[in-house]
Chains A and B, each alone.
Chain A
Amino acid sequence: MLALDRVSKTYPNGVQALSRFSAEIRLGEIIAIIGGSGCGKSTLLRAIAGLDRASAGTVTLDNEAIVSPHAKIGIIFQEPRLLPWLSVADNIGFGLADLPAAERREKVARALERVGLAEKAQAWPRELSGGQAQRVAIARALVPQPEVLLLDEPFSALDAFTRRDLQDHLLDLWADTRPTLILVTHDVDEAVVLADRVLVMRPRPGRLFDQIEINLGRPRDRNSPLFENFKRSVLTSLDRSLDRNVPDRDATQGPGQAMWW
């Protein structure tokens, strides 16, 4: 279990990015963190990854405090961040340097197969499309079999079709070993498609505002009324977190109202 206990982060310039964020996340749970810009969601993710240290509060994974990058925690960034001087296969095997070569090759080959890029094994990263590169990044993060996988707006730079593909693909890969997924996003659709639980954050300073359980079976139908309902409740919560006065979304869309000008 991943436990966040009153995690706070104040940057040296005095900006308080994160204030007393607490949450408990079960193994295998999929969490989406959503919120307006500047709500500290990336800061939170970097604290969990051990890339930045929290100014106060603790992050613990299975009773072990996280203060630096940990073997059980993987991360996927917004950009693929592949190493341009390594082939696709070597990029995927980057985190497996400690394994004997034969075992590493086998794992890499399996991962390549799994993300559908087997024929690209020897290609350079520059030869990949954006979606392919992000799939390699996903494979690179998953191949050491982390217990927790953090994703920092991983699909936001991709076009809508590729994004959908990769969302489904991610769930498919997740089902293999069922790690904990923590996904930072600003895409409500993405949050509701993927997450078991959506955490809504509120900016200045960043803190937890609301939690919404998405009680929908998988695979989820993006067009079902139930899906729309969950989307609406996340959107409403998001609006409230930003102090926008939208008491009732449906009312604003009433006839005539949209035509007032």
Chain B
Amino acid sequence: MDMNAPVGANALDAERIVGKPLDRIDGRLKVTGGARYAYEMQQDALYGFVVEASIAKGKITSIDTLAAERSPGVKLVLTHRNAPKQGTGNHREAHPVLTGPVVSSYGEPVAFVVAETFEQARAAAYLVDVKYDPKGGHFALPQHLGLARVPHQADGAPADSEVGNFSGAYASAPVQIDVSYGTPLQSHAMMEPHATLAMWDGDKLTLHTANQMLNQGQRVIARTLNIPIGNVRLVSPFIGGGFGGKLWVNADAILAAIAARYLKRPVKVALTRQQIFHVTTHRSDTIQRVRLGTDRDGRIVAIGHDVFSGNLRSEQVYEAAALQTRSLYAGSNRLTRHRLVPLDIPVASSMRAPGEAVGLLALECAMDELAEKLKLDPIELRIRNEPAEDPERHVPYSSRHLVACMQEGARRFGWNRRNPVPGQVRDGQWLVGIGMSAGTRGNPLRFSKANLRLDPDGVATVRMAMTDIGTGTYTILAQIAAEMLGLPLERVQVDLGDTIFPEAAGSGGSFGAASSGSALFEACQALRQKLATRAGMDPETARFADGRVATGERSINLTELVGSGIEAEGEISPGRNNQDLSQQSYGAHFAEIGVDQDTGEVRVRRMLGVFAAGRVLNAKTARSQAIGGMVFGAGAALHEDLVLDPRFGYFVNHDLAEYHVPVHADIPPNIDAIFLPELDERSNPLKSKGIGELGICGAGAAIANAIYNACGARIRSYPITLDKILTDLPKQS
């Protein structure tokens, strides 16, 4: 179906199984080591190892592969001299490798060594002798803002938006805030390295590969290798995290495919942890300027958000950090602008909540600064600027319960105990503060299809080329099918992660559950129709429960109706949904922080997120995902900082010892996520909204605002590390 109109009451509303906090159906596989990831699918493959460019820009003048080729066990050394010609495009369209002697960014693969064993491939890779003619380049975003241009991202929103007369309204506003925030380069740092096992059967390529969106990956690989899309199969039943880092095809997939073709044997490769940082994508750093003009009561009359980000010069993808500013608060004069600086660094692309994750780190702290200037409670300031409709597009919200989130969060968190004057609350050596932030994240729906089959043994099987990157897709799809067909959960089998199944959106952009679940919902509706018809019942009134279909006093076991097996298909398309409505999930974040009065060390003491995101499909996995997002936000606020060497254009701290993500000790047990009851009839047939990224959106800003409340240090350069706090700490008596 096309999602064009409110869905009305449907069979999911009973919530007998959907919504319940059920254990993951793939849980046993994950805790016993039985879940197999791409690199683990076959044992007789050859091993590949990537050789990276050790310059950021310039030209390869010579590659000596002789020693590597003579090294024990080596089967092949691929370089630009023997790699095939490949299709081209931006990083979302194609991923050609070893295309020539030109190096465009540090760490770009320059050779690929394949050997009988991993140890042999790795040892031989170090024998490849590459000589370069290095050239200077543009690396650091802050140093090259003068080169910024308006990006034209084909799959993105327009870079600019303007409503009314921002500059005039801002200039005459009685209360003004004009602040700039910086967010650093970040890395997804998912636990499973990018990995691919490639095998050919004649002209047909099968890739077991860690990829979030298999159908898109299939298109990109076909285009890159110049082979028909029907000859490419991607398999990925388990993916060890993605966070956007596995949305696009990376070098591992193409290198393994080419080598396997040449050698007529399966080839597998996993990027090393260190390689991931340069060979795959990252999130750009941003420089953001937020201007807020209000009347004396705190009502926004002018809201402006300018964002600079950087990318490899051939790319148009920008960090859309001002997107949420277009819909979050009221105000009749508005201006948002994104500018992209062309650089000579690895490709920047989507990382968990691209745009909002770092945009809210600026906007929501600016709101905190504004509240203080107005002497208004931060929640009250936001309530005064709650819009009745989308303030730029002038369309209704599909649903929006931001105020309810803030109020419920305030009640649960004890917000009324907050002292608005910074530095007033102490707990021993700790200065203690609390802060909050609003959260919002776009709620897209994407085309997806599903196949559903009910067999004589009473087991329903769901098949789609959907992925589960840890979000819980297997489980929520099983819940939907079980609910709709009136089957117990254990009688539903879910097969995902294979492009031989019907096309699905994949996991990304918070569209996964809604898109795949809605396609499955439609397949369930179609199967119910068929079953009821076979039972001689009216499909509209037939009840499906306990493995039976019933109407009035009549009741028939489903297994009596299926014959040798019965199938149905379903599909969902976004329709006019996203044009006619402003669609976001909402939330409110609260954080309590301790700042060591002597060292400036920050400790998270408590966190709470209250969210309104439509129907929750599984209360347990939804809470886990929301908390995971909040911790991601804590990492952005306090830890994560991919350091670029501005001279040589490489990421200095390219491993997990030096790129700091939150660990157990950083995160208090007192962290919780609550979902308010909400059904969004205009979002999708499930009435759900995306939650995979909502948790991060605003979480870091709540922490930053709590740090200010704790000690009076307003740090506008993330991450907020103790060295930055120290200079602003109150003087000790």
A binds B: no
Question: Which B residues have a C-beta under 8 Å from some C-beta of A?
Answer: none
Question: Which A residues have a C-beta under 8 Å from some C-beta of B?
Answer: none
